[in-house]
Structure formats: structure tokens, C-alpha cells
């Protein structure tokens, strides 16, 4: 059982930690200062504090506050509320930047006295700073930085674990993994990204509870796996996932290749190593490497598919059609329901993998490829996928420009913009407005506050229209 100690937190003064106000994203600082001016407490929380302490540039700056979602919406006109169970507020800035602000949360009832067999649902209970610290997954993710005195607030020993390079679950690992098995993936991720050691009790609990991952929604597992593949340390993640057995829970199709595992693992490490090199490239703040989901999953599945479908054998006519059909069935079997991949992504994977033999046969020269393939809309993506494959085979490094995306950044004095749901005529909106949201607005006739319904249980708000 996870019990709050009631002990005062450890307060680390600025002279004893490396984080400085100047290291924090200036838009995040704007939010923190505005919360202070409105009479609320605001803290930089979680991964942003962890990464700054380790000398890394955080990808996200999340903020926790004592303000409630409704109060946040009044403070930040450039915001909208998201989330089905726990309401988060997204604050929008020019250039498409989003910073998430959440109200401090308390422990879930399941973490205190819940049924031992239940998986933890997200809760919507607001709480204190201590409660918010103890409901988080890992000690190194449970730190708070406050701007008034530039101090770190530590309730769970996270700073010491950062110093020692240890990943430790807060509370009883067995119970915490049972409540939310996705915490297993997060523990592996942070150990892989930071080259940390997973504390013994947490590691043993991972091995015992790994099969519980099959109880989690497939969309959550998919999103967590994509974060691992894009984190720049997917090779380290693979080693930990294989050693713990988690890899074979996520992708049981690879279990049939255990007899040839050293060769298979070597192929996976070289393929993922290409992605890691690209994702670790030093870039400007407005730049990012974006390898499409279909390519990432394609690389992850390539060693298995090579043996299952004889991918490197170029085929024509009826033989090619048969190979493509076999490829689609294999992808459906391995990934269909397990990761809730959209049919579009599976089709893209089939296209990339199915045309790989043709491109390998004709080499990199575009002129050598068949005319019918050069005229296809997906030809450029197939070429990019080929470059990834060739680097893994010892070829030239893939040019970062093939996957580089630059977002427009406007450093105007006032960087706040309206959220997508509240567009004004004189303010350019960089965040996309979905077709669904527009149609929803038409159905609501502009009336705010009307609840959204889902035809199935577990939908938005969990309600069903009769």
C-alpha cells in the first residue's frame, strides 16, 4: 500500500543543484509568472526538472499548479481543456507550440485501498503537492522546481536517485505495476535514455508483472512504444526489453525466432541504431526529426518479415501479388489488434516493405527503377525507407534533411494565440483545427459546455446517448 509520510520535503537550494531560471523555456516561464500574479502556485514538474538536472534540453516543459482547470481557462485566454478523465489545459503559443498545465492531483482510491486485481483508471481528484508527488510513477519524475527561490522540492528521494543513476518506482513496485502496467514501459524507457540502473525490487516486479501489459489499451501501448522508438535510445531500450522479457510480450511473433536470436537481435540493433543517430542529432529548438510511424514499425518488424515473407527476393506479376498479400496478412497477424494500428498505417508499411526488393534490385539511382514505380505517389517514401535500410547495412549515412521538419517560430513580444476552438479573424492560428471539431461546433450551434457523447462505453466522459 502506498502511504503518504507527512514528512516535510527535501528542499534543494539553488547552490546545490544545476538548474537555473535561464535554462527554462521562456514561454513556460510566462505561464509560471502569470500563475503567480493570479495568486496561484505553479511549478515546473516531472521530466522537465529531471532533464534539466541531467544537463539535457527537455522536449516538453509541463507545469503543475494549484489552479483548477476552469480557473486556468480564465487566466489563459489562449488555452483549451483536453482529456476524458483528468482534465488538462493546453496553452497555445505562436509557431504551434503547446505547453500543458495540470492541476495537482491526489492518489487514486485504487492506490490506497483498491481491489488488488483492478488496473488503475486515471482519476480526476485534485490534491496537494505531496499527494501529486506520491501518485507519480518514478522518483526521478517526481521533482518540482519553483521559480520564486529557484529551489527543487523533493518528497521521494528523486534527486539522490538522479545522482546515483537509479530508476526506482515510488511505493510498492508490484502494486504500482499491477495498477497501471504501462509504468513498466516508462521504467524501461528512462533507464534506457539515461543509461540508468533499474533498482532490484523494481526490476523483479517488472519481470513478474510483464504479462499484465496485455490488459492495457492497445492504443496506449502503441503510443508508448513509438515514444521509445523516437527517444534516441531505442537500442538500449531493446536490450532491456529483451532481458526483462517485455519485448516478447509486446511482439510475441519474435518468440519463434529465439533459436536464431543473436542474429535477429543484431539486425534489430543496427536498424534501430539508424533511428537513434537521427533522433540524437543536435537541432535548433524549432527543428525536429520526424520518421513516420509506418517506417518506424517497418524497421522494427523487418527482421521477422524477412524470414517470414522472403522480402529481399524481387518478384513480378502474380508472384509479386502473392508476396504482397502474404505481407499484409503477416502484418495484420503481428500488429493488427495488438497496437491498434490504423489500416492506413498498415497499408503504408505494406507499400514500403513490398517495394523494398524492387529498390534493392535497381540500387539508389532513380533512373534505374521501373517507370511504374517512379510514377507512384509513395515512391519518395519508399526511397527514404531504402536509405534507412542501406545505412543499417553499412551504407552511407542518411541525410537528416530527408526527415527534418522545421516549424515556424515567431518571437514577437506577445507570443500567445487563440486555441483552435476559438479562432479570431485577426489572429493567425498555427495549431490545426480538425474537421471533427468544426462539425461538432455546427451540431452544437455555437453553444459552449454541451457534453460530448460516445456511441460506445468508455468514450468521451464514458456516457452513451440513448
Tell me the helix, strand and coil percentages in the chain, rounded to 5: 50, 10, 35
Distance CA 219, CA 227 (A): 12
Neighbours of 169 (CB within 10 A): 25
The single residue listed with the C-alpha cell 516549424 is 407
Q: Identify which of 127, 153, 145, 146 has the alpha carbon closest to the alpha carbon of residue 7.
A: 153
**183 close to 176: Cβ distance less than 8 angstroms:** yes
Q: Which three cell numbers stand for residue 50?
A: 529531471
Q: Is position 180 annotated as part of the catalytic site?
A: no
Catalytic residue among 132, 137, 161, 293: 137
In 10 A of CB 379, how many CB atoms? 17
Catalytic residue among 25, 51, 62, 111: 62
d(CA 437, CA 422): 11
* Catalytic pick among 60, 200, 211, 410: 60
Whether 161 is a known active-site residue: answer no
In angstroms, the CA 449 to CA 441 distance is 11
Phi-psi region of 95 (alpha: psi -120 to 50; beta: other; left: phi over 0): left
In angstroms, the CA 28 to CA 232 distance is: 24
Give the span between the Cα atoms of 168 and 324, in whole angstroms.
45
CB 147 within 8 A of CB 21: yes
Task: Give the integer Cα–Cα distance in Å for 271 and 225.
Answer: 16
Picking from 291, 310, 304, the residue whose alpha carbon sits closest to that of residue 385 is 291
- Length of the chain, in residues: 466
How far apart are alpha carbons 58 and 217 in whole angstroms? Answer: 27
Q: Which residues are catalytic?
A: 60, 62, 137
Amino acid at each position: 500500500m502506498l502511504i503518504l509520510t507527512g514528512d516535510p520535503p527535501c528542499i534543494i537550494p539553488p547552490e546545490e543543484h544545476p538548474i537555473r531560471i535561464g535554462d527554462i523555456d521562456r514561454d513556460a516561464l510566462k505561464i509560471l509568472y502569470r500563475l503567480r500574479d493570479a495568486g496561484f502556485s505553479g511549478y515546473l514538474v516531472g521530466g522537465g526538472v529531471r532533464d534539466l538536472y541531467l544537463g539535457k534540453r527537455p522536449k516538453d516543459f509541463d507545469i503543475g499548479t494549484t489552479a483548477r482547470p476552469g480557473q486556468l481557462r480564465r487566466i489563459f485566454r489562449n488555452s483549451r481543456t483536453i482529456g476524458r478523465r483528468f482534465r488538462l489545459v493546453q496553452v497555445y503559443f505562436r509557431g504551434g507550440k503547446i505547453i500543458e498545465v495540470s492541476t495537482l492531483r491526489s492518489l487514486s482510491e485504487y492506490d490506497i485501498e483498491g481491489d488488488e486485481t483492478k488496473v488503475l483508471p486515471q482519476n480526476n481528484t485534485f490534491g496537494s503537492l505531496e499527494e501529486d508527488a506520491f501518485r507519480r510513477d518514478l522518483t526521478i519524475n517526481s521533482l518540482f522546481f519553483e521559480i520564486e527561490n529557484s529551489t527543487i522540492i523533493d518528497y521521494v528521494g528523486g534527486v539522490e536517485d538522479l545522482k546515483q543513476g537509479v530508476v526506482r518506482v515510488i511505493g510498492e513496485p508490484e502494486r504500482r505495476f499491477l495498477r497501471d502496467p504501462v509504468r513498466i514501459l516508462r521504467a524501461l524507457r528512462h533507464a534506457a535514455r539515461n543509461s540508468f540502473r533499474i533498482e532490484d525490487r523494481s526490476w523483479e516486479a517488472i519481470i513478474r508483472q510483464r504479462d499484465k501489459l496485455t490488459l492495457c489499451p492497445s492504443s496506449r501501448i502503441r503510443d508508448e512504444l513509438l515514444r521509445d522508438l523516437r527517444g534516441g535510445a531505442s537500442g538500449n531500450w531493446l536490450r532491456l526489453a529483451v532481458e526483462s522479457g517485455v519485448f516478447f510480450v509486446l511482439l510475441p511473433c519474435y518468440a519463434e525466432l529465439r533459436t536464431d536470436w543473436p542474429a535477429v537481435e543484431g539486425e534489430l540493433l543496427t536498424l534501430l541504431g539508424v533511428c537513434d543517430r537521427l533522433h540524437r542529432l543536435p537541432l535548433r529548438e524549432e527543428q525536429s526529426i520526424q520518421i513516420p510511424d509506418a517506417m518506424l514499425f517497418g524497421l522494427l518488424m523487418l527482421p521477422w518479415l524477412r524470414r517470414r515473407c522472403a522480402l529481399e527476393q524481387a518478384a513480378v506479376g502474380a508472384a509479386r501479388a502473392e508476396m504482397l498479400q502474404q505481407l499484409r496478412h503477416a502484418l495484420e497477424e503481428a500488429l493488427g489488434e495488438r497496437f491498434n494500428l490504423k489500416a492506413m498505417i498498415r497499408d503504408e508499411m505494406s507499400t514500403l516493405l513490398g517495394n523494398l526488393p524492387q529498390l534493392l534490385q535497381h540500387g539508389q539511382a532513380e533512373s534505374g527503377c521501373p517507370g511504374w514505380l517512379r510514377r507512384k505517389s509513395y515512391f519518395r517514401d519508399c526511397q527514404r525507407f531504402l536509405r534507412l535500410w542501406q545505412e543499417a547495412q553499412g551504407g552511407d549515412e542518411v541525410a537528416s534533411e530527408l526527415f527534418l521538419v522545421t516549424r515556424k517560430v515567431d518571437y514577437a513580444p506577445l507570443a500567445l494565440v487563440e486555441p483552435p476552438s476559438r479562432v479570431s479573424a485577426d489572429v493567425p492560428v498555427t495549431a490545426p483545427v480538425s474537421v471533427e471539431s468544426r462539425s461538432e461546433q455546427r451540431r452544437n450551434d455555437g453553444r459552449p459546455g454541451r457534453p460530448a457523447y460516445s456511441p460506445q462505453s468508455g468514450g468521451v466522459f464514458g456516457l452513451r446517448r440513448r
